Amino acid sequence: MAQPINISNLCIDVGGTNILRSITMDIGLGWHGLLGCNGSGKTTLLRGLVGRISIKSGSITIEGQELTHKPKLLAEYFGDAPPLHSLPISLRVGELIILIKQSRCENAENADELRQILDISAIENKDISTLSSGMKQRLSIYLAFLGQPKLIILDEPFNWLDPVVAYELKLFLAEYAKRVPVMTALHDISTFANYCDQGLLLHEGAIEKTYNKAMLNELRSKSADLEYDIYKTLSSLSE
CATH number at residue 159: 3.40.50.300
What is residue 135's predicted lDDT score, i.e. its pLDDT?
A: 97
Give tens-digit pLDDT for 16-26.
899 999 999 99
Of residues 183 and 107, more confidence is placed in: 183
Give tens-digit pLDDT for 121-165.
999 999 999 999 999 999 999 999 998 888 999 999 999 999 889
CA distances from 180 to 13, 35, 79, 160, 230 (A): 29, 20, 10, 25, 27
8 A C-beta contact, residue 192 and residue 199: yes
What is residue 43's predicted lDDT score, i.e. its pLDDT?
A: 95
8 A C-beta contact, residue 185 and residue 43: yes
Rounded-to-integer distance, Cα 62 and Cα 229, Å: 33
Q: How long is the chain?
A: 239
What is residue 103's predicted lDDT score, i.e. its pLDDT?
A: 83
Number of structural domains found in the chain: 1
| Beta strands across the sheet bearing 206-211 | 78-80, 151-155, 182-186, 31-35, 198-203, 206-211
8 A C-beta contact, residue 37 and residue 234: yes
8 A C-beta contact, residue 226 and residue 193: yes
What is residue 188's predicted lDDT score, i.e. its pLDDT?
A: 87
The count of C-alpha atoms lying within 13 angstroms of the C-alpha of 205, restricted to the half-sphere facing its C-beta, is 14
What is residue 109's predicted lDDT score, i.e. its pLDDT?
A: 61
Rounded-to-integer distance, Cα 137 and Cα 83, Å: 9
Task: Give the confidence band of 189 by pLDDT, cuts at 50, 70, 90.
Answer: confident
Give tens-digit pLDDT for 80-119.
999 999 999 999 999 999 998 888 765 556 578 999 999 9
| Statement: residue 1 has pLDDT above 50 | no
Domain enclosing residue 99, as ranges = 5-238
3-state secondary structure 154-192: EECCCCCCCHHHHHHHHHHHHHHCCCCCEEEEECCHHHH
